[in-house]
């Protein structure tokens, strides 16, 4: 925790995911924006428009230069398609928070699990010429990256925490379909309805080609009940470990999007305005980070430097190192409320 007013009503509440304006319907996405956009976006929640919406206000030259360097975006999906927005609006984030609080209050005697193993079904969508046909080895390496990230293995010093989430590969499906591979967004409803496995507790990951610099997108836990077939994470095949996506090929697009799937907003949700990302121990951040601008302070009147190394930012993969204790608690709350049913330690 840092010295400032609680963001989520109480120090024990946490929620998160959001994007300001890219295009993805039903999932949260990540990608690197064109020079006109400030940062690479990673998944995080409902999408509503087809542009990125940075916080209002003056921007200094450094901020503009940083924005110009961005080239990939990770979005949130409740709208992963044309006319949908990548960035979750303050209103949508508040709605998700209210639904989380209501769900937890309805079962106030529910215990929050300390450790959870999540089954992972990976669906590889590739082209007939072999593009996108990621190997079993790279798929396992992606799962290994998730496990290391969520157990705090990339954290430096005392900055991170073990979230208690572990991931276990349960199945890999392979579909060769040029139309699906070249335009996943157009066919996404059919793809997910045909391939998705398990219930709310199963992480379904779709690897494919994503256009316009998009890295990936994901749904939020709150949306499962109304659209179970859409639940899951979509990531560009070249972002898996060993891929060819420059600066984003170490597997942390997957780490980021799974954070959305577990209920986290971007660290820059709501900019410098309360309640930020609804997590008390991530400093406020005016806009997404590009590259690795350590020491940046985009909300100078508020405590703390920007959380540029947090997995829920848009920094380069090599720059991302950790989740916080607050984010850990928020993910556990979302799991108990929407993904596990009655939870027992």
- What pLDDT is stored for residue 157 in this prediction? 86
| Residue 141: active-site member | no
- What pLDDT is stored for residue 96 in this prediction? 96
Winning range, highest mean pLDDT, from 36-45, 67-76, 233-242: 233-242
- What pLDDT is stored for residue 108 in this prediction? 66
- What pLDDT is stored for residue 159 in this prediction? 86
Indicate if the pLDDT at residue 69 is higher than 60: no
233 beta partners: 205, 218
Indicate if the pLDDT at residue 293 is higher than 60: yes
Instruction: Pick 158 or 219 by higher pLDDT.
Output: 219
Mean predicted lDDT score pLDDT of the chain: 79
pLDDT digits (tens, 9 = 90+) for 194-216: 999 999 999 999 999 998 679 99
- What pLDDT is stored for residue 86 in this prediction? 58
Secondary-structure class of domain 28-339 per CATH: alpha beta
- What pLDDT is stored for residue 204 in this prediction? 98
Instruction: Pick 15 or 115 by higher pLDDT.
Output: 115
Burial class of residue 65 in the structure, from the number of CB atoms within 10 Å of its CB (0-12 exposed, 13-18 middle, 19+ buried): exposed
Percent of the chain with pLDDT over 90: 67
pLDDT digits (tens, 9 = 90+) for 7-58: 443 332 223 333 322 322 234 454 433 322 223 333 333 332 222 223 333 3
- What pLDDT is stored for residue 114 in this prediction? 74
What are the backbone dihedrals phi and psi of residue 179, each rounded to the nearest 5 degrees, phi first? -65, -45
Tokens 């190394």 sit on residue: 309
Q: Is the dihedral of CA 73, 74, 76, 82 positive or negative?
A: positive
Q: 325-334 and 90-106 are packed helices; what angle lies between their axes, rounded to 10 degrees?
A: 70
Q: Which of 39, 97, 250, 257 is catalytic?
A: 257
When pLDDT is averaged across residues 155-172 and rounded to a whole number, the result is 94
What does the alpha-carbon distance between residue 42 and residue 274 come to, in Å, rounded to a whole number?
21
- What pLDDT is stored for residue 74 in this prediction? 64
Query: CB neighbours of 302 closer than 8 A, spacing ≥ 6?
Result: 4, 272, 283, 284
Instruction: Pick 32 or 292 by higher pLDDT.
Output: 292
**Residue whose C-alpha is closest to residue 275's, from 56, 79, 18:** 18
19-33, 65-79, 85-99, 237-251: least confidently modelled range: 19-33
- What pLDDT is stored for residue 115 in this prediction? 86
What does the alpha-carbon distance between residue 196 and residue 331 come to, in Å, rounded to a whole number?
22
Indicate if the pLDDT at residue 155 is higher than 50: yes
When pLDDT is averaged across residues 222-248 and rounded to a whole number, the result is 96
- What pLDDT is stored for residue 113 in this prediction? 63
Ordered by start, the domain boundaries in the chain are 28-339
Indicate if the pLDDT at residue 235 is higher than 90: yes
**Residue whose C-alpha is closest to residue 15's, from 73, 115, 92, 108:** 92
Instruction: Pick 73 or 231 by higher pLDDT.
Output: 231
Q: Could you tell me the pLDDT band of residue 72, with boundaries at 50, 70 and 90?
A: low
| Tokens at 242, concatenated | 């060993």
- What pLDDT is stored for residue 77 in this prediction? 43
Q: Could you tell me the pLDDT band of residue 73, with boundaries at 50, 70 and 90?
A: low
Q: Exposed e or buried b for every residue in 295-330, given b needs 16+ CB within 10 A?
A: ebbbbeebeeebbbbbbbbbbbbebbbbbbbbbbbb
């Amino acid at each position: 925790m840092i010295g400032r007013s609680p963001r989520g009503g109480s120090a024990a509440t946490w929620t998160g995911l959001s994007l300001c304006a890219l295009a993805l319907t039903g999932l949260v996405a990540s990608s690197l924006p064109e020079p006109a956009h400030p940062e690479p976006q990673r998944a995080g929640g409902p999408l509503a428009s087809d542009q990125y919406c940075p916080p209002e206000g003056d921007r200094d030259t450094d901020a503009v230069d940083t924005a110009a360097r961005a080239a990939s975006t990770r979005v949130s999906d409740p709208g992963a398609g044309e006319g949908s927005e990548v960035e979750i609006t303050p209103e949508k984030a508040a709605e998700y928070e209210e639904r989380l609080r209501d769900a937890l209050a309805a079962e106030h005697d529910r215990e929050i699990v300390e450790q959870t193993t999540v089954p992972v079904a990976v669906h590889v969508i590739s082209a007939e010429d072999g593009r996108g046909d990621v190997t079993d080895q790279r798929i396992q390496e992606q799962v290994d990256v998730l496990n290391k990230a969520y157990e705090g293995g990339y954290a430096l010093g005392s900055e991170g925490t073990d979230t208690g989430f572990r991931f276990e590969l349960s199945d890999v499906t392979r579909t060769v379909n040029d139309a699906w591979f070249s335009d996943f967004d157009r066919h996404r409803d059919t793809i997910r309805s045909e391939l998705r496995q398990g219930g709310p507790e199963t992480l379904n990951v779709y690897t494919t080609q994503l256009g316009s610099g998009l890295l990936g997108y994901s749904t939020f836990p709150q949306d499962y009940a109304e659209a179970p077939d859409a639940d899951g994470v979509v990531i560009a095949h070249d972002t898996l470990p060993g891929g060819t996506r420059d600066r984003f090929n170490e597997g942390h697009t997957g780490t980021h999007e799974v954070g959305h799937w577990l209920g986290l907003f971007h660290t820059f949700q709501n900019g410098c305005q309360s309640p930020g990302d609804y997590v008390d121990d991530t400093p406020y951040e005016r806009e997404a980070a590009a590259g690795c601008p350590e020491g940046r302070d985009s909300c100078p009147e508020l405590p703390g430097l920007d959380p540029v190394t947090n997995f829920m930012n848009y920094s380069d993969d090599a720059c991302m190192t950790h989740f916080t204790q607050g984010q850990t608690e928020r993910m556990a709350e979302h799991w108990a409320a929407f993904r596990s049913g009655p939870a027992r330690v």
